């Protein structure tokens, strides 16, 4: 059943940028660190390589480089006119100051702007986008930079082959601004905190679900997360479509969080959505958490696959366990 009223925000994404570190880590490279192989990784995940930060490179650096890429492709953008910075990350340089505040300082942006880091793991990009859209729609701000940045290779346990082969680093950014054509619709979020022990990192608290883990590294029960995604994300997609007053058949492109190609294949099969209309980044960049959606979307926009008028269904999901999604009409 369609919702009684279409949920839409008076915004559009008007500029995009991305950056990945120079260092490429192949599956063969990882086979020298843990007991694995290129064949094993590709069969189970679809990942062929990922990027890794340099020793002196941090999440804030990745984000700044992504903004520089945005400016190179969109030279008319004026950073002095930005009202807010949202950064989605689980690997900030510091607990505080926030990565968003560091970016404001690094790029000498106005002190009158707002700055906020968002911790929503792999749902971070869509969460930041939807929050920025709400603030623009309410009149609090005119525009914002929504940024996802992750240095995940610093958070993995290289003695655990089930997780260390999955993750990579990178950053993506978009300028979101007011537009009365309402190019963003169907915004939705879900939360299942009971599934938190399936994907977590300890911090000041060193225990999770009765297990002591002082290392502060990423822990994941891949089977549990896979099951949760396949069982729960199709209904989250349905809610987005209902709020946008659209049918799945009206969607031109699906951009789910690129966690694992086998998970994406199962999700598309469950939804009955064609895999060849699904944009992914996991093959080249691994699981980059909040960054995986922009790393899939931006190349498709730049090479002309995503065209003006296309409806793009974005759906992030991950640690929490949480999801966030929306339909973006590309203008």
Q: Is residue 228 over pLDDT 80?
A: yes
Angle between helices 222-244 and 261-271 (to 10 degrees): 40
**pLDDT tier, 4 (very low <50, low <70, confident <90, very high otherwise):** low
**pLDDT single digits (tens) 265-303:** 999 999 999 999 999 999 999 999 999 999 999 999 999
Rounded distance between C-alpha atoms, residue 279 and residue 126, angstroms: 15
Tell me what pLDDT residue 227 has.
Answer: 95
DSSP-derived letter for residue 249 is: G
Q: Give mean pLDDT, residues 244-266.
A: 97
Q: Is residue 2 over pLDDT 60?
A: no
What residues contact residue 296 under an 8 Å CB cut-off, 6+ apart? 255, 258, 279, 280, 281
What residues contact residue 148 under an 8 Å CB cut-off, 6+ apart? 87, 88, 89, 124, 125, 128, 171, 172, 173, 289, 290, 291, 293, 294
Tell me what pLDDT residue 1 has.
Answer: 41
Region for residue 263 given its phi and psi (left: phi exceeds 0; alpha: psi -120 to 50; beta: otherwise) = alpha
Name the residue among 202, 188, 171 with its Cα closest to residue 290.
171
Q: Give mean pLDDT, residues 226-235.
A: 96
Calculate the alpha carbon distances from 76 to 81, 147, 174 in Å: 11, 19, 14
Tell me what pLDDT residue 226 has.
Answer: 93
Tell me what pLDDT residue 147 has.
Answer: 98
Tell me what pLDDT residue 15 has.
Answer: 98
283: burial class by Cβ within 10 Å (0-12, 13-18, 19+)?
Answer: middle
Residue 247: count other Cβ atoms within 10 Å of its Cβ: 10
Tell me what pLDDT residue 161 has.
Answer: 84
Calculate the alpha carbon distances from 81 to 78, 109, 135, 174, 213 in Å: 6, 9, 16, 14, 44
Q: Give mean pLDDT, residues 74-99.
A: 98
Q: Is residue 182 over pLDDT 80?
A: yes
**pLDDT single digits (tens) 143-164:** 999 999 999 999 999 988 889 9
207 and 286 in contact (C-beta within 8 Å)?
no
Range 49-59 burial, b when 16+ CB lie within 10 A, else e: bbbbbeeebbb
**pLDDT single digits (tens) 28-80:** 999 999 999 999 999 999 999 999 999 999 999 999 999 999 999 999 999 99
Q: How high does pLDDT run on average in the chain?
A: 96
Q: Give mean pLDDT, residues 312-320.
A: 96
Residues with catalytic annotation?
122, 257, 287
231: burial class by Cβ within 10 Å (0-12, 13-18, 19+)?
Answer: exposed
And the tokens for 115?
Answer: 């700055």
Calculate the alpha carbon distances from 160 to 1, 48, 153, 217 in Å: 45, 18, 13, 11
Rounded distance between C-alpha atoms, residue 129 and residue 291, angstroms: 12
Tell me what pLDDT residue 84 has.
Answer: 98
Rounded distance between C-alpha atoms, residue 8 and residue 220, angstroms: 35
Range 6-36 burial, b when 16+ CB lie within 10 A, else e: ebbbbbbbbbbbbbbbeeebebeebbeeeeb
């Amino acid at each position: 059943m369609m919702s009684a009223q279409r949920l839409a925000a008076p915004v559009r994404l008007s500029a995009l940028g991305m950056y990945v570190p120079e260092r490429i880590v192949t599956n063969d490279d990882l086979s020298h660190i843990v007991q694995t192989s290129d064949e094993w990784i590709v069969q189970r995940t679809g990942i062929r390589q990922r990027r890794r930060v340099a020793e002196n490179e941090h999440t804030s650096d990745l984000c700044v480089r992504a903004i520089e890429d945005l400016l190179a492709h969109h030279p008319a953008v004026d950073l002095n006119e930005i009202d807010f910075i949202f950064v989605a990350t689980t690997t900030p340089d510091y607990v505080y100051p926030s990565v968003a505040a560091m970016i404001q300082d690094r790029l000498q942006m106005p002190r009158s702007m707002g700055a906020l880091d968002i911790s929503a793991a792999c749902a971070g990009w869509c969460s930041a986008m939807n929050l920025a859209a709400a603030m623009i729609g309410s009149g609090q701000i005119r525009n914002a930079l929504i940024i996802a940045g992750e240095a995940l290779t610093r958070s993995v346990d290289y003695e655990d082959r089930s997780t260390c082969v999955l993750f990579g680093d990178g950053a993506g950014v978009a300028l979101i601004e007011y537009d009365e054509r309402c190019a963003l619709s169907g915004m939705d979020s879900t939360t299942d905190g009971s599934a938190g022990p399936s994907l977590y990192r300890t911090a000041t608290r060193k225990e999770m679900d009765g297990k002591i883990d002082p290392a502060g590294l990423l822990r994941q029960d891949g089977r549990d997360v896979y099951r949760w995604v396949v069982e729960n994300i199709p209904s989250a997609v349905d809610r987005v479509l209902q709020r946008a007053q659209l049918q799945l058949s009206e969607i031109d492109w699906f951009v789910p969080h690129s966690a694992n190609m086998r998970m994406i294949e199962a999700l598309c099969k469950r939804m009955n959505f064609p895999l060849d209309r699904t944009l992914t980044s996991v093959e080249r960049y691994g699981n980059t958490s909040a960054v995986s959606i922009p790393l899939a979307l931006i190349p498709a926009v730049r090479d002309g696959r995503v065209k003006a008028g296309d409806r793009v269904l974005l759906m992030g999901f991950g640690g929490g366990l949480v999801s966030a999604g929306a339909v973006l009409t590309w203008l």
